[in-house]
């Protein structure tokens, strides 16, 4: 049974669920699953509804936009895989995992291509029959490098950019092109150990858990809305190098988890937080 | 802001959410949170709605029962703590944890009393100013012992019976008095290691994780609907005795977790499974 | 079979394990379990050996101190429960858990008494037949309050001080009396969310995991050697108040875990880190 | 600093650690890390020692074999990656993960080739430049098929066989060729849900955790020594198909974890259990 996903976020008021489900019922659409949530401190309403039945999307959207509060964000998720571009640098663990998952339809996404500031990962990407773009930052200003990256991105029609251990800091100007459409894996349990060398920091501090955070990228580095987090147990016997290895496993799992949530239209962004229906 | 919980389970059909939320909207009740779920293989619909506003419970229930499918189970959770009786034997870990939680309002429950087939735990219970009933099974048939237990239970008006390491097997006859109202903590990750001496079994088998299961008790021993499960890491260095100790920690946590879900009206029972809105 | 624990930390050099195990073998002592670890960046050696057999402690210690590098710290753990004093404020969850565990021999410790700057928890402590000391900070300077606390502590012969949600910051002067003998439970996954209101901070940041950290207290607030850490899953649906509740569960578990390690002589402190043999 | 791993298992007796470490000290070898464990119910001693220094392996082995109890198993791990053959069927998740890990030196192993009873995974294997052998079972008796598999295996000099979702049951005859050298990933938290369709079973039972088990294969199906286990949280909203998907993630992680332990010489097999030094 084919189903479609209806996504609504708007100012909260009484009767919203009744209005939306009334519209669906009128059209003889059956609700297969339904989540609502009210962020009460902000007075903001979120709803994700999976419906079965024959759907005239533009007609439904028109009526909902009329009847919901002004400024409501109402969407029906497209009935296809997400189109993604992956940015990477030299580390293969996250990229390799995504290549395998997409090759075998484990993630609701199609990889359009991979962009890297190094050449290291090109051979692996090409083994999967995908375009690899080496956009070196050598000898370029940050702005010139970002312009070169944007040139490559512009040749694709991507829904999302995935930073799979892309080790360059992106400027707010670059980020602003992809608001809520760029996902990063951060090498720590944010907000601990922000910045460089997190595993060295973790080792020095003698922590007993190593974490990773999948998040949307916004203008403030390491501060975007968090999508998924997880941890792994470490101990005194782990060197900084071994902590980094444990960390790579967690990073791989957390990025895949964050992407699965986003690519199945389960994540709303509300300022610097996410609302996740899962 | 005081809120009330509306709980519905019924045969699935189109328009149910619309009907219910329409009724709430008409009465000027605001939906604070809302979960629905359709068990599609059984065609069964579940809904838990938290509403704010002034509520005429009997009027709302009457209308909903009229408009929902025949046989619908519609309830509004009572606006008070659950009243519980605890059954225990000799082990203190689960009972002690519940005594502390209830004494400090960490669980939405009031302990009416504790019943045990041994005397070991009486002193601890009395320290908390609660009635303790020693109902020994010595020299009694199983039926006579259960009759004696029922006599004590009958003197209370309990919503739930909690088996906090009660080491007697209860007959289907006894269980039938408390359908979906009796919760047990099982000393394993069910369905593994059913029956006696699970930690000895786990040790012999060399498992790397020890689990526990909180479940409703039904007529088939160890087969009731599962509410919560968790595991702890163990290893070759753990003797059967140490595995049992690790197990006690998990049991304590899992029972508290299961009870928190049930006592906050987050659990529906559907045949041998639970639907949990959390 | 009674066993004793031998604990050694010293400068690393070749042949240490051979020397120690030779001494044990000569005395016809059998090694039941044995852990060694070399912190290679500091050149420091740690060893924990559990031996069975009849042991002349002073003779063994004398020979080991002669044969091991100058300055070696060599101890045999006393063959009794640890004697502990608990500091608390108003929150009952950690204290209650420790009272139950100790009452039923689940922790290798005897609670000598409980000290609090509030009166809230006195009734619970007295239920367990233990001394409760209310040492209010009202109207006192920090120094005067700490002097009053020290006066009470001085009336006991405690091995360890346990800060079970003691919400006063202790001065370096106070801390210096209990070097590596004072254990605190911190309400976050350190080093994230240091300082006050960690759950409000966690809520504002939208994290997906809530953590807690058990650590030795040293002169730098929140910076002492970490013993144990754990996390619990939270989500957008959890208010700051619910995150605090989830946090209390993790705090309880992590403190009990940290104490179990320390009280079973499994923890060495090495500068700002721990070496844990478990 | 290059190090070598010394592995000993033998009947327990007093003085073993002293004897071994004495031999190492005499040869001016430095112990970098050291684990011992006595399985007291079997009177069996296990020791794993990592040493630094110039090592004459045959001389050291000769002396140790002379001085340790008769029948002692004494080995020095070879100073190279493990050579492995992977068996798979149609599912790509475990195989893909291993291909990526080995391609980037994340696992201490070299994949010699992949053998499958189906053709599905051939293209992926060849992308990594590795031999793929399609050994169909179509029209063959179990014995004939196993003979064909053995023929392929015989052309390689493999240390270990890895069953990465190989969905054929192997006969005791086949298994006996690879005692403690064949590792399987089982689709459940053993010993629950043994046999076919574990995720359907898990769904029917309404469990809240899905597990996986990495284990050595022995003559009794699903009963070999357990190396690693883990679980993932599931709920009522997960269909059997979604549980299977969650399960694939856990399987991937657990198999990689089990192999990492084995390939770094951290696992001893003791009858139907493992002793793991990590």
List C-alpha distances in Å: C136 to C112, C139, C151, D199.
20, 8, 13, 58
User: Rounded mean pLDDT of D7-18?
Assistant: 93
Minimal Cβ distance to B32: which of A16, A33, A38:
A38
Model pLDDT for residues B14-61, shown as the tens digit of each residue:
889 999 999 999 999 988 888 888 888 889 999 999 999 898 999 999
pLDDT computed for residue C11 by the predictor: 96
Minimal Cβ distance to B14: which of A14, A15, A28:
A28
- pLDDT exceeds cutoff 90 at D24: yes
pLDDT computed for residue B1 by the predictor: 59
% of residues, chain A, pLDDT over 90: 62
- Cα of first residue to Cα of last residue in chain C, in angstroms, is 20
User: Rounded mean pLDDT of B210-224?
Assistant: 83
* Banded pLDDT at D198 (limits 50, 70, 90): low
Q: Which residues of B sit within 8 Å Cβ distance of C?
A: 33, 92-93, 96-97, 99-101, 103-104, 106, 124, 127-128, 237, 245, 248-249, 253, 256
Of the listed ranges B193-197, B270-274, D111-115, the one predicted with least confidence: B193-197
Q: What does the block give as tokens for C252?
A: 């309880």
Model pLDDT for residues A146-181, shown as the tens digit of each residue:
999 999 999 999 999 999 999 998 999 999 999 999
% of residues, chain B, pLDDT over 70: 95
Greater confidence (C191 vs B163) lies with: B163
B229 contacts: CB under 8 Å, gap ≥ 6: B189, B190, B211, B212, B213, B214, B254, D207, D208, D209
Which of A194, A206, A213, A233 has the most C C-beta neighbours within 10 Å, making it the best mutation to test the interface with C? A206
pLDDT computed for residue B28 by the predictor: 92
- pLDDT exceeds cutoff 80 at D192: no
> Which residue in D has a C-alpha nearest to residue A32's C-alpha?
D237
pLDDT computed for residue C190 by the predictor: 55
> Which residue in C has a C-alpha nearest to residue D30's C-alpha?
C14
Contact A21 B36 (CB under 8 A): no
pLDDT computed for residue D232 by the predictor: 81
Place of tokens 């001016």: D28
CA A144, A149, A155, A157: dihedral to nearest 10 degrees?
Answer: -130
Q: What is the average pLDDT score of chain D?
A: 89
pLDDT computed for residue D194 by the predictor: 59
CA distance A21 to chain D (A): 20
pTM: 0.87
Model pLDDT for residues D117-128, shown as the tens digit of each residue:
999 999 989 988
DSSP assignment letter at D69: P
Which of D39, D191, D277 has the most B C-beta neighbours within 10 Å, making it the best mutation to test the interface with B? D191
pLDDT computed for residue D240 by the predictor: 76
User: Rounded mean pLDDT of C213-239?
Assistant: 82
User: Rounded mean pLDDT of B238-252?
Assistant: 82
pLDDT computed for residue C65 by the predictor: 96
List C-alpha distances in Å: B107 to B259, B261, C245.
8, 10, 10
Q: C–D: how many Cβ contacts below 8 A?
A: 53
B270 chain-D contacts, CB cut-off 8 A: 236
pLDDT computed for residue B87 by the predictor: 98
Sheet holding A182-186, edge to edge: A132-134, A109-116, A82-88, A160-163, A182-186, A209-216, A226-233
pLDDT computed for residue B196 by the predictor: 64
Question: What is B5-60 written as a DSSP string?
Answer: EEEEEEE--TTHHHHHHHHHHHTTPEEEEEEEEEETTTTEEEEEEEEES---HHHH
pLDDT computed for residue D39 by the predictor: 86
Question: What is A201-226 written as a DSSP string?
Answer: HHHHHT-SEEEEEEEE--SSTT-SPE
Greater confidence (C63 vs A239) lies with: C63
Residue D200 to residue D247: CA distance in whole angstroms: 11
* Banded pLDDT at A220 (limits 50, 70, 90): confident
Number of H helices, E strands in chain B: 8, 13
pLDDT computed for residue D196 by the predictor: 64
B120 contacts: CB under 8 Å, gap ≥ 6: B89, B90, B92
- pLDDT exceeds cutoff 70 at C221: no
- pLDDT exceeds cutoff 60 at A213: yes
Q: What are the φ/ψ torsions at residue A78 (nearest 5 degrees)?
A: -65, 150
Minimal Cβ distance to A100: which of D100, D104, D249:
D100
Q: What are the φ/ψ torsions at residue B84 (nearest 5 degrees)?
A: -130, 150
pLDDT computed for residue A152 by the predictor: 97
Contact D106 A93 (CB under 8 A): yes
Minimal Cβ distance to D236: which of B189, B231, B276:
B276
Q: Residue B2 CB: number of other CB atoms within 10 A?
A: 8
Greater confidence (A242 vs D3) lies with: D3
* Banded pLDDT at C191 (limits 50, 70, 90): low
* Banded pLDDT at C212 (limits 50, 70, 90): confident
Place of tokens 């609302």: A275
CA distance A201 to chain B (A): 26
Minimal Cβ distance to B274: which of D236, D270, D275:
D236
* Banded pLDDT at B62 (limits 50, 70, 90): very high
With contact defined as 3+ CB pairs under 8 Å, the chains touching A are B, C, D
Q: Residue C221 CB: number of other CB atoms within 10 A?
A: 16
- Going A150 to A156 to A158 to A161, the CA torsion angle's sign is negative
A17 chain-B contacts, CB cut-off 8 A: 17, 21, 31, 34
* Banded pLDDT at B160 (limits 50, 70, 90): very high
| CATH superfamily entry for domain A3-76 | ACT domain (3.30.70.260)
Contact C22 D24 (CB under 8 A): no
Question: What is A134-200 written as a DSSP string?
Answer: E---TT--HHHHHHHHHHHHHTS--SEEEESS--SPPPHHHHGGGTTTEEEEESSSTTSS-SS-HHH
Q: What is the average pLDDT score of chain B?
A: 89
pLDDT computed for residue A224 by the predictor: 86
CA distance C197 to chain D (A): 29
D199 chain-B contacts, CB cut-off 8 A: none
User: Rounded mean pLDDT of A236-244?
Assistant: 77
A141 contacts: CB under 8 Å, gap ≥ 6: none
CATH of domain A82-276: 3.40.50.170
Q: What is the average pLDDT score of chain C?
A: 89
pLDDT computed for residue A81 by the predictor: 97
Q: Looking at the annotation, which residues of B are catalytic?
A: 222
* Banded pLDDT at D211 (limits 50, 70, 90): confident
Residue range(s) in chain A whose domain bears CATH number 3.40.50.170: 82-276
Model pLDDT for residues C126-177, shown as the tens digit of each residue:
988 999 999 999 999 999 999 999 999 999 999 999 999 999 989 999 999 9
CA nearest to B220, candidates B165, B171, B164? B171
pLDDT computed for residue B115 by the predictor: 98
pLDDT computed for residue B155 by the predictor: 97
pLDDT computed for residue D193 by the predictor: 58
User: Rounded mean pLDDT of B174-197?
Assistant: 80
Instruction: Considering the candidates A73, A222, A230, A278, report the single residue annotated as catalytic.
Output: A222
pLDDT computed for residue A260 by the predictor: 94
Number of H helices, E strands in chain A: 8, 13
pLDDT computed for residue C46 by the predictor: 94
pLDDT computed for residue A195 by the predictor: 62
Residue B19 to residue A75: CA distance in whole angstroms: 24
- Cα of first residue to Cα of last residue in chain D, in angstroms, is 20
- pLDDT exceeds cutoff 60 at B190: no
Contact A236 C206 (CB under 8 A): no
CA distance A42 to chain C (A): 12
Residue range(s) in chain C whose domain bears CATH number 3.30.70.260: 3-76
CA distance A47 to chain C (A): 13
Contact A103 D97 (CB under 8 A): no
pLDDT computed for residue C38 by the predictor: 87
Residue C73 to residue C69: CA distance in whole angstroms: 9
SS3 A240: helix
Q: How far is CA C177 from the centre of its chain?
A: 15
User: Rounded mean pLDDT of D58-81?
Assistant: 95
């Amino acid at each position: 049974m084919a189903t479609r996903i209806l996504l609504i976020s708007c100012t909260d008021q009484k009767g919203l669920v009744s209005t939306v489900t009334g519209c669906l019922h009128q059209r003889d659409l059956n609700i297969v699953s339904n989540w609502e949530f009210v962020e009460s401190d902000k007075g903001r309403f979120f709803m994700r509804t999976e419906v079965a039945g024959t759907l005239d999307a533009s007609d439904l959207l028109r009526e909902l936009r009329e009847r919901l509060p002004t400024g409501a964000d109402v969407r029906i998720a497209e009935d296809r895989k997400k189109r993604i571009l992956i940015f990477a640098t030299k580390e293969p663990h996250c990229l390799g995992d995504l290549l395998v998952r997409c090759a075998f339809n484990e993630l609701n996404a199609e990889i359009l291509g991979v962009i890297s500031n190094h050449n290291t990962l090109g051979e692996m990407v090409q083994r999967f029959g995908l375009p690899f773009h080496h956009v070196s930052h050598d000898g370029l200003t940050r702005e010139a490098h970002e312009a070169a990256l944007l040139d490559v991105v512009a040749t694709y029609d991507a829904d999302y950019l995935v930073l799979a251990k892309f080790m360059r800091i992106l400027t707010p100007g670059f980020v602003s092109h992809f608001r809520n459409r760029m996902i990063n894996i951060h090498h720590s349990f944010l907000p601990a150990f922000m910045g460089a060398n997190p595993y060295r920091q973790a080792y020095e501090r003698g922590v007993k858990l190593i974490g990773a955070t999948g998040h949307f990228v916004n203008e403030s580095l390491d501060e975007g809305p968090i999508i998924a987090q997880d941890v792994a147990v470490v101990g005194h016997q782990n060197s900084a190098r071994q902590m980094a290895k444990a960390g790579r496993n967690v990073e791989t799992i957390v990025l895949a988890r964050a992407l699965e949530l986003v690519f199945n239209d389960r994540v709303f962004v509300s300022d610097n937080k996410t609302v996740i229906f899962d």
